[in-house]
Structure 1
Amino acid sequence: MPSLLPRRLLVPVLLCALAVLVARPTDATDGGHGSGAGLSAQVARLYEEAAKATQEYEEGRRESEAQRSKVRRYEELLDRERQQVAALHEDLGRLARAQYRGGGGLPLSMQMALADPDDLTRGQRSVWQANLVVDNAIRKSRRAEARLAADQAKARAAWQSLEERNAELAGLRTEIEEKLQAARSRLEGQAEASVAAGSCPDAVRLDQPEARVTRPWVAPVETYELSASFGSGGMRWADRHTGQDFAVPVGTPVRAVGAGRVVEVSCGGAFGMQIVVRHPGGYCTQYAHLAAVAVDQGDRVVPGQWIGQSGSTGNSTGPHLHFEVRVTPEMGSALDPVPWLARHGVSL
């Protein structure tokens, strides 16, 4: 009679497998492209990939320019060698013509018959030595020309290889940027829907890049163009502009400018999705019009940490980061952030 032990073990195993399948997150919530967290992470990843592809392309382009300059130098040297060989051939021709003219155009046998033996020996030796010098110079120049031609061929092959690699890198960069643009558009749509509903989505825990910040204070975004500045007037603001705007694409990682604690994360209103951080000493910094947040209220942050992603939520005419420095966490206590950052060693 077969043992019942295998069947008794089989039931718990099947139940455990079923429990694992039930507990496993679905694609809609495990960071897939359809979820807000997955989309934010995708944008951040593509942002880094685009930056890396651009860096590699620029490095390849500089290498290609260096190789092309080397090819041009070899061409110039080859041209000089060829001119030198032509000149040496001309010298050899002049020697032959001078020898002929010195003999009065007589055949060599007649010159030998009429000439003084000692003069003939000296003349022949001089002509022979001159011919030898010119021949040696021509051979030496030919060897140099061959070496230069080989070096030029190597440089040209390296240049062409770099050009092919650069074309591949350019295509890869374009492909990444197209994917990034599409993901940014979806992220912006999700952010606007959250702000319209007045409820912030959960914080997105973005994979932070390798530690690159060694300073205690940094700019809120790594690459940017400055747009509206503190105190600017315009129809978009009730009074005057209360911060410094950084024009950046949707999804650009936003960094904490210094160490501190998150005192506010909110959605809705003129600032859209925003974060406020209090720093040691009492000053606060605000990051507004975001498309995603990567911290929760109460979190501690360090300089350069990604705390969110830029967007165009709230009262905004285009993608940018609105950055403020405040004496208190509330509106109405803002001061000019540019000189404040300058005092902390950050020049915009």
Structure 2
Amino acid sequence: MSAACTARPVAADGGGGTGLSGGVEAGARVARLYEDAAAAAQRYEEGRLEAEAQRVAVRRLERLLSRERTRIAVLHEDLGRLARAHYRQGGGLPYTARMLLSGDPEGLLRGHRAARRAEHVVDNAVDRSHRAETRLAADEARARARRESLDRRTAELAEVRRSVETKLEEARWLLQEQADASAAAGACRGAVPLDRPGSGSVRAWVAPVSAYELSAGFGSGGRRWAHRHTGQDFAVPIGTPVRAVGAGRVVRVSCGGPFGIEIVLRHTGGYYTQYAHLAAVNVEQGQRVAAGQWIGQSGTTGNSTGPHLHFEVRITAESGSGIDPVPWLLRHGVEL
């Protein structure tokens, strides 16, 4: 029943958690912000990847441009060598004079033509390289401008993400304060209506939360338990949607005691699953639920040292009949 402690931020209204009236409003707000935060994180990651891809493109163009400039320098040096050799062979005399004085005019003519062809080839290569350099420089400039635009957009997305996450953290602790009050009074608030389809899964069995870190496991020891740990803990933030692992019926919704706010479901085959230390419930006792349906929101009510979901699989509805949830889920096709 334990998880790492998280410091509570000061509420945005500076008060004792009354900035949102009622657990229903708080739970719904957390659920909306939870999805907003996930969407903002996805947009930021997409923007970051696009900006990184553009940075790679800029670096590639810079390398190509550098190679093209090196190639132009080499070609210019080749032209210079050809010109110097041509000058030395003629001793500085005009070509007509060289023809008259040559003992082999035809050989001189062939050499001259070969030299001119070589010069022409190199000159054309220089021309092509200059055109390539111009195109590459223009492409690099466009890519650099695009990268700078994407970097600015990524920074804006990061700021939006931080803002949503800050609001979510504040709303989470307001929800937890209200949950603590309900657990202390031993009276649950009504089910929290959420703008969410009844089931988010087409599979028969799912994990109770979609993103998590496993913490205390079944049978582990701890000073906070009378004997051994009776379930599997999933370390998740307050307000994380908790899902029914399979189709079933709600047989218990209760508040107070070591499990805080809890829900117990009965499934086909006679097994029961428990979801404890919640901050809010989204279902009523007696209600039928589908696999993957949001039934509550995680919290840290009851005998808990930090936000997490305590999940049990039982052979009866009562505590003390628990079995190890991990192999049970694995037999149902769910690997944690």
Give the TM-score normalised by structure 2. Answer: 0.91
CA offsets 1:59-112 (integer angstroms, 9 cap, x no match): 111111111111111111111111111111111111011112212354656535
| Match among 82, 85, 88 for residue 69 of structure 2 | 82
Please list every run of 5 or more consecutive structure 2 residues that lacks an aligned counterpart in the other structure. Answer: 1-18
Match of 1:54 in 2: 41
Match of 2:169 in 1: 181
Match of 1:255 in 2: 243
Q: Which amino acid is the alignment partner of residue 299 of structure 2?
A: G
CA offsets 1:213-232 (integer angstroms, 9 cap, x no match): 22111111111111100001
Distance in 1, matches of 2:285 and 2:243, equals 16
Tell me by how many angstroms 1:208 deviates: 1.2
Tell me by how many angstroms 1:339 deviates: 0.7
| Match among 82, 94, 102 for residue 95 of structure 1 | 82
2:326 aligned with 1:338: yes
SS, match of residue 264 in structure 1: strand
Distance in 2, matches of 1:34 and 1:58, equals 34
Structure number with bigger Rg: 1
Closer, same or farther in 2 for the Cα pair 1:56/1:77, shift >3 Å?
same
| Match among 15, 24, 33 for residue 20 of structure 2 | 33
Of the structure 1 ranges 321-330 and 208-217, higher mean CA displacement relative to structure 2 is found in 208-217
Of the structure 1 ranges 189-198 and 108-117, higher mean CA displacement relative to structure 2 is found in 108-117
Q: Is the 8 A contact 2:199 2:290 kept in 1?
A: no
Kindly report structure 1 stretches of 4+ aligned residues shifted beyond 3 Å: 104-113, 209-212
SS, match of residue 339 in structure 1: helix
Tell me by how many angstroms 1:113 deviates: 4.6
Closer, same or farther in 2 for the Cα pair 1:209/1:97, shift >3 Å?
farther
| Match among 14, 29, 49 for residue 42 of structure 1 | 29
Match of 1:266 in 2: 254
Q: Which has the higher contact order (CA 8 A, sep 6+)?
A: 2
Tell me by how many angstroms 1:303 deviates: 1.1
2:281 aligned with 1:311: no
Aligned residue pairs, count? 317
Distance in 1, matches of 2:128 and 2:198, equals 56
RMSD of the alignment, in Å? 1.6
CA offsets 1:17-45 (integer angstroms, 9 cap, x no match): xxxxxxxxxxxxxxx93121111100000
Please list every run of 5 or more consecutive structure 1 residues that lacks an aligned counterpart in the other structure. Answer: 1-31
CA offsets 1:287-341 (integer angstroms, 9 cap, x no match): 0000000000011111111100000000000010000000111111100001111
